[in-house]
Amino acid sequence: MFENILLGFETALTAENLMWCFVGVLMGTVIGVLPGLGSTTGVAILLPLTLGLEPVTALIMLAGIYYGAQYGGTITSVLISTPGEASTVVTTIDGYQMARRGRAGAALSISAIGSFVAAIISLALLIALAPPFAEFALSFGPPEMLAVMVLGLATIVSFAGDDKVLGATMAVLGLLIAMVGVDTGSGVARFTFGSVDLLSGIPFVEVMIGLFAVGEVLHQIREGAAAPIRARFRDLMISRSDLSRSVAPILRGSLLGFLFGCLPGAGSTLASFMAYGIEKRVSRRKSEFGSGAIEGVAAPESANNAAANANFVPTLTLGVPGGATTAVLLGAFTIYGIQPGPLLFDQQPALVWGLLASFFIGNLILLVLNLPLAPVFAQLLRVPYGYMYPLILLTSVVGAYSISNNLFSVWVVFLFGLVGYAMKRLNFPMAPLVLGLVLGPLFEKALVQTSAIGDGNLLILFTRPLCLSVLVVAALLLLGPSVIATLRPGRRPAAADREPATTRKVDQ
Amino acid sequence: MNSAAESTREPIGQAVVFGLLAALGATVLVSSFGYGILRDGDRVGPGLLPMVVGLLLLLLSGWQLVTRLRGSTRGPVAAAPVGPETDVLGRTQARRIRQLRMVVVALPITILLVPVLGFLPAFGICVLFICAVVERRRPVQALLVTAVAVAVVYGIFGVFLDVPLPAGVVGDLFGS
């Protein structure tokens, strides 16, 4: 273990990797600040930029964008009540209220500190748990992998908000989109309508750029601009009382975030909502929640950062993404010719441990950058969106084109931009669609292999104990809440504990 | 457009989308049989997953279509909140919708123009159009934004990453 950590730091601390880690974190923060650009969009748009880099360097930069954007998103949540990231939606509740009371600096500072502490705790857990988990995952055959993917889909559907049927519909739609193209098992072309471009399927990264970048730009044009609140340097001072009030929420948020982040498909948004809900329940200052309680910022911000790191547990060890952004990162792994999964730790130790070590370094850079520079980043909000979105559109289409040097990619971006816009307007959750899209090919491959192992009998899924256990957990996640609600009809969850309807429009 | 009209349109929009998805599910379900559901030895064939997915899409979308048409309170999807009538820049909803439509129309026209004008010239014109016409910037500002955007993208993708951006018929003429 110690040798591996040393190898990781040796890899991450090279001048080139350090520089790209810094670039990633900085760009991530800026991307998180810009309305309409989240970590998923940022990673998708900037992925083509990394094609000329070494895989480990590229992944270090992309991961830097991921967790940098988590913090950048907080800045807009606090200053203009507009989450730059889905995982910072819940921060708007108390963060914006703190800003309105002239305490924007304290909110931003506690976010930076909480995120840093959470990152360190979750990374220690990630380093300790991921290798044994990968070892354990080596015993997974196709049926177990199939069951894990069912669990991933069940998790994301069960947390898709009030409407699980809608979440399931989106996941199924994602699976359907993934089926377009030549079936790898049989060589049969499906739903290609004679198009040569469709033979290799609908390109995943282009779909992501369309859904998240173009879709969000169109949505923002429709929504109009909001008025920001300025954060001055002197406002950043945080009091001792603020810190002491935040210690326990940060620790609780970190642990909760890590647990939820480990679930394939759960994502960091869910973790932040759960952390806020729990904090509100256990806090001695319940009445302050919703009107500017610092605990309401510290807990979800710690949780979303811990979950972002924990998302790498299923991504690296099973090859099943933890959330939407890790789904895009999974696509990046594939582009670089790397297959995430249990063998990755043995086959690519420098890459895996270098990536994990870069998280430590990146989070340190984030803290150093964000404590003093948050007001500077916040100035980006003063640039009118009308100036920014033409550049976002241009970067999106050129980035998409550069992946395969094909104009078809640009059409995919445009069409899925319209789909993304429609989904935002109609408040349809995007995360289930993304997960379905990513898992589609893996799901079908595991299904075909399972069928071959069972000589055509898929019931072998229920004869393998591990497989059966995972499927039971998936069924409980999907059906448990409904069964409990049916058995106890008089008891309904408190309105405040439910995910606000308006937040469902943002992706996990 | 007022918000009352807007709020009436959202459930209709949802119903239309679910209707389309149900039709898509039915089409996928029917066409899946053409791919072969099972292979030799009753193993999973290329049509099995499309069949299951098509069926699920049909059932799930059909269910939601029915609940919305009935106006049932079960399984409602709250429409995204409509933005403020006038934003901080003083733009009304009607104007923002007009802007959105212009951008949505401009993008496919631009993509169609790429083989003729070349990638960067076509999208450069698109950015100029958005700045000058959609956003109503002053001509100098619009030109400046366009020049900076095209230069940045050309520098990163064209020079740094060496992406062969299409020159188009016009570019080829000038090149030769």
- Taking the CA atoms of A243, A295, A428 and A165 in sequence, report the sign of the dihedral they define: positive
| Residues of chain B found within 8 Å of residue A173, distances taken between Cβ atoms | 21, 57
Give the pLDDT confidence score for residue A240 in this predicted structure: 85
Structure tokens at B70: 């009935």
b/e A287-303 (16+ beta carbons within 10 angstroms → b) = ebbeebbbbbbbbbbbb
Nearest CA in chain A to B103: A218
ipTM summary value: 0.89
| Cβ <8 Å between A165 and B75 | yes
CA distance B171 to chain A (A): 16
CA gap A293, B173 in Å, rounded: 65
| Cβ <8 Å between A225 and B89 | yes
**pLDDT above 70 covers what percent of chain B?**
85
- Is residue A415 within 8 angstroms of chain B, CB to CB? no
Write out residues 76-115 of B within 8 Å (CB-CB) of A. Answer: 76-81, 83-84, 86-89, 91, 93, 96-97, 99-100, 103-104, 107-108, 111, 114-115
| Cβ <8 Å between B137 and A448 | no
| B31 in Cβ contact with B107 (< 8 Å) | no
Q: Name the residue among A225, A407, A418 with its Cβ closest to that of B114.
A: A407
**pLDDT tens for each residue of chain A, 508 residues long:** 778 888 888 988 999 999 999 999 988 888 877 655 678 878 887 888 887 888 889 989 998 988 888 888 788 778 766 666 667 777 878 887 887 777 878 888 888 889 889 988 988 888 888 778 777 777 788 898 888 888 878 877 776 656 788 889 999 999 999 999 998 778 889 999 989 999 989 987 788 888 877 888 898 888 876 666 665 666 667 788 888 899 999 999 999 888 888 877 656 777 887 788 888 878 888 788 888 889 999 999 999 888 888 888 888 888 888 777 888 888 888 888 888 887 888 888 888 888 888 888 988 898 888 777 766 666 666 677 788 888 888 988 988 888 788 899 999 999 999 999 999 888 888 878 887 887 888 888 889 889 888 888 888 889 999 899 989 988 888 887 777 777 766 554 443 343 333 333 334 4
Q: Name the residue among A221, A391, A447 with its Cβ closest to that of B100.
A: A221
Nearest CA in chain B to A216: B100
SS (H, E, C) A455-496: CCCHHHHHCCHHHHHHHHHHHHHHHHHHHHHHHCCCCCCCHH
Instruction: Say what the alpha-carbon torsion angle A381, A383, A388, A389 is, to the nearest 10 degrees.
Output: 70
A429 contact partners, CB below 8 Å, separation of at least 6 = A160, A161, A166, A167, A170, A423, A504, A507, A508
Mean pLDDT of chain B, nearest integer: 84
A172 contact partners, CB below 8 Å, separation of at least 6 = A436, B53, B56, B57, B60
Give the pLDDT confidence score for residue B10 in this predicted structure: 66
CA distance A163 to chain B (A): 6
Q: Between these two residues, A92 and B46, which has the higher pLDDT value?
A: B46
CA gap B96, B133 in Å, rounded: 13
A55-80 and A295-310 helices cross at what angle (nearest 10)? 160
**pLDDT above 90 covers what percent of chain B?**
50
Confidence band, pLDDT 50/70/90 cuts, at residue B9: low
Element containing residue A182 per DSSP (H, E): strand A181-182
- Is residue A410 within 8 angstroms of chain B, CB to CB? yes
- Partnered with residue B43 across adjacent β-strands are B39
Structure tokens at A264: 């394939």
CA gap A434, A411 in Å, rounded: 19
Find which of A398, A425, A457 to mutate to test the B interface (most B CBs within 10 Å of its CB).
A398
Write out residues 370-389 of A within 8 Å (CB-CB) of B. Answer: 384, 386-387, 389
Q: For residue A157, how many C-alpha atoms fall within 13 Å in the half-sphere facing its CB?
A: 27
| Cβ <8 Å between A391 and B63 | no
| Cβ <8 Å between A165 and B161 | no
Give the pLDDT confidence score for residue B30 in this predicted structure: 95
Which pTM does this prediction carry? 0.76
User: What phi and psi, each to the nearest 5 degrees, are found at residue A140?
Assistant: -75, 125
CA distance A433 to chain B (A): 12
Element containing residue A306 per DSSP (H, E): helix A295-310
Confidence band, pLDDT 50/70/90 cuts, at residue B1: very low
Write out residues 137-156 of B within 8 Å (CB-CB) of A. Answer: 137, 145-146, 149-150, 152-153, 156
| Cβ <8 Å between B77 and A166 | yes
Of A325, A313, A317, the C-alpha closest to A348 is A317
Nearest CA in chain B to A506: B80
| Cβ <8 Å between A224 and B84 | yes
Q: Write the pLDDT tens digit of every residue in B94-118.
A: 889 999 999 999 999 999 999 999 9
| Cβ <8 Å between B103 and A218 | yes
Q: Name the residue among A397, A398, A505 with its Cβ closest to that of B80.
A: A505
| A92 in Cβ contact with A278 (< 8 Å) | no
| Residues of chain B found within 8 Å of residue A384, distances taken between Cβ atoms | 89
Write out residues 429-448 of A within 8 Å (CB-CB) of B. Answer: 443-444, 447-448
| A232 in Cβ contact with A263 (< 8 Å) | no
Structure tokens at B124: 């450069």
CA distance B82 to chain A (A): 7
- Is residue A456 within 8 angstroms of chain B, CB to CB? yes
SS (H, E, C) B4-37: HHHHHHHHHHHHHHHHHHHHHHHHHHHHHHHHCC
Q: Name the residue among A384, A402, A427 with its Cβ closest to that of B78.
A: A427
| Residues of chain A found within 8 Å of residue B36, distances taken between Cβ atoms | 186, 188
| Cβ <8 Å between A188 and B99 | no
Q: What residue segments make up the domains of chain B, in order of their start?
A: 7-75, 80-176
| Residues of chain A found within 8 Å of residue B35, distances taken between Cβ atoms | 183, 188, 190
A295-310 and A91-100 helices cross at what angle (nearest 10)? 140
Nearest CA in chain B to A443: B49
| A314 in Cβ contact with A264 (< 8 Å) | yes
Angle at A475 between CA A473 and CA A481, to 5 degrees: 100
B122 contact partners, CB below 8 Å, separation of at least 6 = B110, B111, B113, B114, B116, B168
Helix segments in A81-103, DSSP class H? 91-100
| Cβ <8 Å between A224 and B75 | no
Give the pLDDT confidence score for residue A506 in this predicted structure: 37
Long-range contacts from A454-457, C-beta under 8 angstroms, 24+ separation: A454/A143, A455/B41, A455/B42, A455/B43, A456/B38, A456/B41, A456/B42, A456/B43, A456/B44, A457/B42
CA distance B10 to chain A (A): 7
CA gap B176, B163 in Å, rounded: 20
- Taking the CA atoms of B64, B77, A213 and A499 in sequence, report the sign of the dihedral they define: negative
- Is residue B54 within 8 angstroms of chain A, CB to CB? yes
Element containing residue A108 per DSSP (H, E): helix A104-137
| Cβ <8 Å between A173 and B57 | yes
B112 contact partners, CB below 8 Å, separation of at least 6 = none
- Partnered with residue A384 across adjacent β-strands are none
- Is residue A230 within 8 angstroms of chain B, CB to CB? no
CA gap B103, B42 in Å, rounded: 51
CA distance A112 to chain B (A): 29
Write out residues 45-104 of A within 8 Å (CB-CB) of B. Answer: 48-49, 51-52
| A183 in Cβ contact with A8 (< 8 Å) | no
Give the pLDDT confidence score for residue B156 in this predicted structure: 77
In this prediction, residues B41-45 reach a mean pLDDT of: 84
CA distance A49 to chain B (A): 7
CA distance B144 to chain A (A): 11
CA gap A453, B30 in Å, rounded: 28
Write out residues 120-139 of B within 8 Å (CB-CB) of A. Answer: 123, 126-127, 130-131, 135, 137
CA A303 and chain centroid, separation: 12
CA distance A439 to chain B (A): 13
A276 contact partners, CB below 8 Å, separation of at least 6 = A90, A93, A296, A299, A300, A303
Burial class for A393, CB neighbours closer than 10 Å (0-12, 13-18, 19+)? buried
